Amino acid sequence: MQQSTCKYPDLNHNLLEQFNKREEDAFCFVYEHFYNELYYFASKLFLDNTVLPYDVLQDIFLNVLENKKQFESFDLLKSYLYLSIRNRWKNEHKHTVAAQRYTAQSFDEKEDNILSNIFESETLAILYNHLKLLPPECAKVMRLSLEGHKNPEIAEILSISINTVYAQKQKALTVLRNKLSKDMFVILLFSLFLHGE
């Protein structure tokens, strides 16, 4: 996604008012603010579908833009967006259940994991946000790692040696250790361990 050109530093009441009026800059900022966590959540739900998470988010935000629904807080807006993604997944599931050969049990299991997926999505959004604190090359390596690429794959994608991948990860961890809370740093290490150490 392109770098934001919006003028807002953070979520606030003034921004909410402008978003409810569907002013372009406000809508742009909110879209980019929530994008990472919503994309990750959608990608977890639509993992076995032909529907692309990007398309789901585009449709949902387009619907918000067109329906002029008013939101009393950003928490309510975020809940609405999560619920919209979940409902879109349920509708897609109903249409593809025969082709995908889902069982009632697999559907129920995925429903049970909704809250877990939301927590994981928001956690990763925090980690992605902190990647902005890193030098560009370190950030590229860490982003690919969090996306599930193993070290040899990262080296190939970025056309660097695997030793450089290790070095960039170590450099990134040194910076992030001082920026993240202890719990978030542990989550980061666990994510890296799962994805290709």
160 and 110: one domain?
A: no
Tokens found for residue 20: 């409810």
Element spanning 19, H or E: helix 13-20
Looking at residue 155, the DSSP 8-state letter turns out to be H
Percent with pLDDT over 70 in the chain: 74
From 81, 98, 122, give the residue that closes a domain. 122
CA 121, 122, 123, 124 torsion-angle sign: positive
Are 116 and 157 members of one domain? Answer: no
Highest mean pLDDT among 105-114, 117-126, 150-159: 150-159
**What pTM does this model have?**
0.55
User: How much is the pLDDT for 65?
Assistant: 92
What mean pLDDT comes out for the span 55-65? 93
pLDDT cut 90: percent of the chain above it: 21
84 and 3, same structural domain? yes
User: Both ends of the chain: CA-CA distance in Å?
Assistant: 27
| 143 falls within a domain | yes
Give yes or no: residues 102 and 16 share one domain. yes
Look up the domain containing 38 and give its range.
Answer: 1-122
- Spatial distance between the Cα atoms of 8 and 15, rounded to a whole number of angstroms: 8
Q: In this structure, are 112 and 148 located in the same domain?
A: no
Is there a contact between 57 and 39 (Cβ–Cβ < 8 Å)? yes
Whether the Cβ atoms of residue 71 and residue 77 lie closer than 8 Å to each other: yes
> Quick one: DSSP state of residue 132?
G
- The answer to whether the CB of 168 falls within 8 A of the CB of 141 is yes
The whole-chain average pLDDT of the chain stands at: 78
CA angle 81, 18, 120 (to 5 degrees): 30
The tokens of 148 are what?
Answer: 């599930």
Whether 100 and 28 map to the same domain: the answer is yes
